[in-house]
Amino acid sequence: MNFPNTLSLIRILLAPLFLYLFLSDSAGLVAASFIVYTIAALTDWYDGWYARRYGFKTRWGQFIDPLADKILTSAAFIGFYLMNQKNPGFFGLSEPVPMIYLIGVIIFRDIVLTIVRSVQELRGKEFRTSMISKTKTFIQMSFIFLVLGLISISAIVSGSAISVSINSYLQSQINYYILLLITVLTAASGVAYVFESGENIEKQTYN
């Protein structure tokens, strides 16, 4: 196993560690979870750069790298749901669509379609990432880092005016509706992927 693939494996192993720290009752461990998540996310950037820089692109890497990314982001969303279960109101008091369904759609789409796409790429089929998928990923990651960062700051300065302001935002409906938007984008990107996949198969058939 080469170095980039090792980093992808490390990212997978860091996901449950992050979740454990994030859900702890210790302010220090909650803050540490943000550091762990950031380190894990940085391995994604670095292993991609390293693989391109030194020509370590492998079929196994094409499979495990995106899968590791989705496992990490899924761990964050699972953490948000469990946090909401521990502290009702974490994502606002009103949920037109229950949060568990939103998280379920995001995780199902990201994990299942990532595996399917990776397997197809292992078989030599190339697929371009659609703009809606890129937008979805950017919004997902920005949202995760924003929420994790704010929770970490709030935990460190617990009881202060800053903490009160942060918690006021986290418990507002804004968080819920951003999550709802992410869910819609995730579902839409999944539909776009199905159509994209069908077009590629059709082109390969005619060629």
The conformation of residue 94, written as its DSSP 8-state character, comes to: -
Q: What is the pLDDT of residue 201?
A: 47
Place of tokens 């761990």: 75
Q: What is the DSSP string of 20-84?
A: HHHTSS-HHHHHHHHHHHHHHHHHHHHHHHHHHHHT---HHHHHHHHHHHHHHHHHHHHHHHHHH
What's the whole-number average pLDDT of the chain? 84
pLDDT per residue as tens digits for the range 144-199: 999 999 999 998 998 899 999 998 888 888 889 999 999 999 998 888 777 766 55
pLDDT, tens digit, 9 for 90 and up, residues 24-54: 989 999 999 999 999 998 888 877 777 777 7
Range of the domain at 88: 3-206
Per the structure, the count of domains in the chain is: 1
Cα–Cα distance measured from residue 151 to residue 85, given in angstroms and rounded to the nearest whole number:
16
CA dist 100 and 81 (Å) reads 7
Measured CA to CA, the distance from residue 49 to residue 145 in angstroms comes to 21
152: domain CATH number is 1.20.120.1760
Q: What's the predicted TM-score (pTM) here?
A: 0.86
Structure tokens at 172: 């507002």
Look at residue 120 and tell me whether its pLDDT is greater than 70. yes
Instruction: Label residue 130 by pLDDT band (50, 70, 90).
Output: low
- Residue percentage of the chain with pLDDT more than 90: 42
